[in-house]
Structure 1
């Protein structure tokens, strides 16, 4: 086993669903270079996000804390960048540190990246950045860089690595905008000669779901804007045919953006291989959350259903971890900070709330496996997608969701607009989550067990149950 402290590369994308990755069995595209990390390392089958939005997820990844602790509960709540992160801990331990690409945690004093020797992040488009000729902000100020963002971000990251003197270990976060909306492929994408298969749940009628879920404005048929697709459907299409046309158009551009990401992942792998650094580098590829790719007729994320909740995560460190492995245990984005620090031999910060799964990978678990995971989506009835506020608890076999619905914690929100509602899914019998069984008598015991487990986990992480829960 290598005694060298590992370098760290985290490649993070935005809205890249695991079912659009070859290693996860995708039927819509191939991702050979991302799959290579899984082949040379570990694929995580049950990695979940604790708040399925870009900014909150990124804050949890950095700080190893839940949204209510790090303060980034919504897209509108910037981070206090002075709080400790796994990056600041690595820097204190002698690592050279950098972040390039999407930050999306606020800008200005107190919100720009801290704990990095070098930072160069996208600004513009409300923090999302642009695909073409993007505007970057660094300690030196703003500048426009000509080209395609996915390529540029990799260029800048590798250039920083090439500039490093000496043998000190380093950590670089390569954070892509892609494949976030608006989906803008670069020139030279592979031509698609066949239609993308429709998801089995594309025509979901939400028959047993709560009104909270049904009112979400995420249906491709009604809510995916033509301006995002940059095309107009042929005249005379029926409602059903127009929905399929929009899906195909959306997926074509989305998958082309993923192709550029995959190629740039390959560039990073090749850079490490050429310098003999691959074996001693903890290389991670992930997305900040999942994404609905026409599943249940939806696009976007936010809701606690599998396609949104599930994060892709593959990692490699051949000097320590055998390749071709699969991790089936439940992990979350809150766990990553402590896991990275554990791999680097650096002590975590006491406030970090996750469980290091590093011991699982080296056959020396430091704690029992997680029995389940806690989720909370804080935004309520947002102007773009009308997604309801909710929280819930997922085990390997079941999922409990509580839509409390009043936007607690959001400035300017009023009293209850909709009543609280519950959903429960049997993931073994119903992996596509089509049948809400919360009120079915045969699930009374499961319902009680999950409610107790969720309350216990809320107490552990310090997040209070909503006042309406005791009355529901």
Structure 2
């Protein structure tokens, strides 16, 4: 009798084990690609004509492109914390780049691990501490370096030889190739590029420095009809970009020409970044950049402020878009690898950025503001089993929703504490409506770029922003009539009714997301007490 029960138990265990493996096999793999500071304008699928990103565009052709994806806090580390936790910054605690992130709190990778997924984090995370929720991690230290970078690989510091974008791709593909094939996998494949100070791969420098890029219509914006925040921000390409670190003018030439550096670390950035190159890399770099700088040196005495702005814009775009080219190369290698290994049909591939970025609009670089170029992030997703090729969506999805959506696909229950929601049914066409407004907060002030603290709400058509701390100013924009946000209509009598409706909507959404003025005061007190 005992033998009979043992046999039955063994058979039952074998059946359950087989069923579990079969269930795991059916669950999708997930590749989440996040670049850093990649504006949607610099992805050719969005139609701005700045550059060509043939491989990222494949995700749009074979999947879905979101036109109105946004972030909750347009800053590197806070955006990543929101991705992991599915919670707003004031809930997960990572309000700015300086605040510590508590890795002990739940994140979606931990939940995937608990439900049979193998997980990895490779590339930039920009948060202190050992990442939790990952079977394997290979992360850059802080912002990371473009050439011959340092990584922390499973807790051990290593300097790798090569270009950071390529190395991040190499490690991602290697991890997938050597994974446990009995488990579904999720890998966070995070690129440093195109983050400042924009050092392209050597294979791209000659072609990109030879190009002239179209200037945005608002390059010389004077900020009339806008408030104090836009007028006092320190992110103007002419006034606030560094000459050596950003534009690659050699420090000796900066001194010779009497160029005034806005930033104390300007020359150090140049020396540190290029100083990481080996002799062959530096020689190849100098062979392209030195003639550009000599030409600038000859022209400089006769250049007007307008000439200088235009020159600096081109230098910015040449290097920025040059770094994007290597990111696109990596996406192509990944998609080819998945196809060659019969993984493409059952793998969800997500491409996004940690926020948007100014590519000369309003004369700016960087992000932080709730204005469109900073608020919006690219989002393209491919999953042949559910997503119709060539789809587009105007749904107001946010990075707040990534964790719930990934858990939904993995068949894992979404914790009630997560504030985002799955947009899976938007992608598979089962639902058309998602949310009617998104909520945004920004806290890193006073700090680099001097973008004032603010919060606000955006609907399909309107945007209401409140700047506070050392200001008390409201801005309202009609995005249908004024997509470039050139005219604050908050005090316009014609928008009195809209203004009232937006205030009510803002109050309601703040209550729903558990934010308040008391939260703002608490974070202000923390800064003052440092």
TM-score range, shorter chain: over 0.9
Which residue of 62, 80, 83 corresponds with 1:58?
Answer: 80
How do 1:52-201 residues align onto structure 2 when only pairs under 5 Å count? 52-106=74-128, 111-123=129-141, 127-189=142-204, 191-192=207-208, 193-201=210-218
1:89–1:348 CA contact under 8 A, matched in 2: no
1:13–1:177 CA contact under 8 A, matched in 2: yes
Partner SS state of residue 349, structure 2 = strand
Structure 1 residues 17 and 85 mapped into 2: Cα distance closer, same or farther (>3 Å)? same
**Counterpart Cα distance in 1 of 2:79 and 2:427:** 23
The TM-score with structure 1 as length reference comes to 0.92
The TM-score with structure 2 as length reference comes to 0.82
Structure 1 residues 85 and 140 mapped into 2: Cα distance closer, same or farther (>3 Å)? closer
Partner SS state of residue 279, structure 1 = coil
1:55–1:75 CA contact under 8 A, matched in 2: yes
How do 1:6-405 residues align onto structure 2 when only pairs under 5 Å count? 6-106=28-128, 111-123=129-141, 127-189=142-204, 191-192=207-208, 193-227=210-244, 228-231=246-249, 233=296, 234-236=299-301, 237-365=303-431, 368-382=433-447, 384-404=448-468
1:84–1:349 CA contact under 8 A, matched in 2: no
How do 1:387-466 residues align onto structure 2 when only pairs under 5 Å count? 387-404=451-468, 406=469, 418-465=470-517
**Counterpart Cα distance in 1 of 2:156 and 2:500:** 55
1:95–1:170 CA contact under 8 A, matched in 2: yes
1:391–1:402 CA contact under 8 A, matched in 2: yes
2:439–2:457 CA contact under 8 A, matched in 1: yes
Question: Displacement of 1:131 after TM fit?
Answer: 0.5
Q: CA RMSD in A?
A: 1.6
**Counterpart Cα distance in 2 of 1:265 and 1:121:** 19
**Counterpart Cα distance in 2 of 1:206 and 1:336:** 34
Map Cα deviations across residues 83-135 of structure 1 (whole Å, 9 max, x no partner).
Answer: 111111111110000000001011xxxx3200100001001xxx000011110
Map Cα deviations across residues 245-291 of structure 1 (whole Å, 9 max, x no partner).
Answer: 00000100000100000000001001100011111101001000000
Partner SS state of residue 159, structure 1 = helix
Question: Displacement of 1:396 after TM fit?
Answer: 0.7
**Counterpart Cα distance in 2 of 1:96 and 1:53:** 28
**Counterpart Cα distance in 1 of 2:393 and 2:518:** 33
1:458–1:465 CA contact under 8 A, matched in 2: no
Question: Displacement of 1:319 after TM fit?
Answer: 1.5
**Counterpart Cα distance in 1 of 2:218 and 2:68:** 21
**Counterpart Cα distance in 2 of 1:136 and 1:194:** 33
Partner SS state of residue 292, structure 1 = coil
**Structure 2 residue ranges without an equivalent (≥5):** 1-22, 250-292, 522-530
**Counterpart Cα distance in 1 of 2:168 and 2:57:** 21
**Structure 1 residue ranges without an equivalent (≥5):** 407-417
The alignment of Structure 1 onto Structure 2 pairs a total of residues equal to 447
Aligned counterpart, 1:413: none
2:122–2:189 CA contact under 8 A, matched in 1: yes
1:420–1:468 CA contact under 8 A, matched in 2: no
Q: Is 356-365 or 424-433 further displaced after alignment?
A: 356-365
**Counterpart Cα distance in 1 of 2:389 and 2:378:** 17
